[in-house]
Amino acid sequence: MSTAVLKPNAIPAPMIGNRLDPRGNSLNLIRLVLAFMVLLAHSWHIVGDGNGWGFRGENLGGWAVAGFFGISGYLITASRFSNRIGPYLVHRVARIFPAFIVCLVVMAFGFAPIAYLIQHGSLQGFLHTPTTPLNSIFANMTLHIVSYDIAGTPAGVPYAKAWNGSLWTLYFEFLCYLLVALIGFLPLFKKTPWPMIGAFVLSVVLWANIDALKPYLQSNLDFELAARLVPYFLGGAVVQVLSSRIGIHKVAGPVAIVLAGLSIFLVDGFGGQLAAPFIAYGLLWISTWLPQPAFVAQHDISYGAYIYAFPVQQFLAVFGGYHWGVWWFTLAATACTIPLAAASWFFVERPVMRRAKKSV
């Protein structure tokens, strides 16, 4: 009778902390709060009162987007590593594109005609005046926003000729989805966390040296924006690939937030990007103890809130809402955005995603 030798590496290392419960967290609420942080940040611009709150060269909205990308990096990496490429892409397209295109249509044939009517006294020329409503949909439907006005509207407001200053980030979000889609083909990324950690470090180094790289890319703005945002996404991905070893821990959570703060305030130029894994981990930790309303737990209206907030704000500005001041304007915009966000969830996002799950 032979005795089997148990190799040391056959014994899994004990996890520090607990796995994030997919149903026992408040990420829906956190993402909704981040969406309304973006709304608040934009209020200062739309009422013509400067850039508003911010620190270390980034306003409140920029830091909220960083949080969005970190959470997405964590969740989307898990989705890719547990799905074949086909279902993964179907789910990602279903989550982003239908509600986005409906938003383009609502802006082109809902908000813009009313603004044009107020501006010109009639709708004559609305369908033919650059940028035409149909072209605003067609030109932007790939997520790469190239046209912000519709028929010259909105006009006569502090932040003129831009109906939606939030949508540009979706292009880079989807590029991150494609990046993780490619990573999912590489077995090494699933076997050990080091390749993902290396990819994150490389992204931070790239951003830290962005000024030196600009001349070689003709100061390409898309490259610069991608270099700025990808580290936040990969920071969340790093937390995901380490999740089997490092769960969510009641001590590690506050420590991560402190380390994120130290990185942001002590490292010039790229401290936020360097802090990305700590930002993502801190938000995940908060989601384990922060309670959320039952409605928010069951219905994720954060995406709808994000894509409709800016056009709602501009629509209010067309009617003179920018005279109300930042805080009353923000309150009114929030109240008007929530019904559109809920409609987007109930009538577009949720039905499409359910159909997508059944089709793969």
| pLDDT of 353 above 60 | yes
The dihedrals phi and psi of 59, each to the nearest 5 degrees, come to: -80, 180
| Stretch 279-286: mean pLDDT | 98
Of the candidates 102, 108, 105, 27, which has an alpha carbon nearest to the alpha carbon of residue 68?
Answer: 27
Rounded-to-integer distance, Cα 306 and Cα 215, Å: 34
Three-state DSSP class for residue 218: coil
Asked if residue 125 has pLDDT above 60, the reply is: yes
Q: What's at 360, amino acid-wise? A: V
133 alpha carbon, distance to own chain's centre: 26
- Beta bridge partner(s), residue 150: 153
Structure tokens at 91: 């789910």
13 pLDDT tier (thresholds 50, 70, 90): low
- The better pLDDT of the pair 145, 11 is held by 145
- Supply the DSSP symbol for 55: E
The token pair that represents 24 in the structure block: 């026992």
Calculate mean pLDDT across residues 64-76: 98
**Residue 123 phi/psi, 5° resolution?**
-95, 10
- Residues 225-244, mean pLDDT to the nearest whole number: 97
At CA 169, angle to CA 49 and CA 70, rounded to 5?
A: 105
Percent of the chain with pLDDT over 90: 88
The pLDDT tens digits for 249-267 are 999 999 999 999 999 999 9
pLDDT at 209 over 80: yes
Domain boundaries, the chain: 27-141+148-359
Question: What are 143-148's contacts with CB under 8 Å, separation 24+?
Answer: 143/96, 143/97, 143/100, 143/167, 143/170, 143/171, 143/174, 144/171, 144/222, 145/171
Supply the pTM of this predicted model. 0.93
Choose among 314, 275, 56, 339: nearest CA to 166: 314
Instruction: Check residue 281 and give its pLDDT.
Output: 98
Across the chain, mean pLDDT equals 94
Cα separations in angstroms, 120 against 33, 154, 158, 322: 37, 11, 18, 20
**Mean of pLDDT values over 94-112:** 98
Residue 189 has pLDDT above 90, yes or no: yes
- Could you tell me if 301 and 343 are in contact, meaning their C-beta atoms sit under 8 angstroms apart? no
Q: Which of 2-6, 109-113, 140-144 has the lowest mean pLDDT?
A: 2-6
Instruction: Sort 182 into a burial class: Cβ within 10 Å, 0-12 / 13-18 / 19+.
Output: exposed
Residue count of the chain: 360
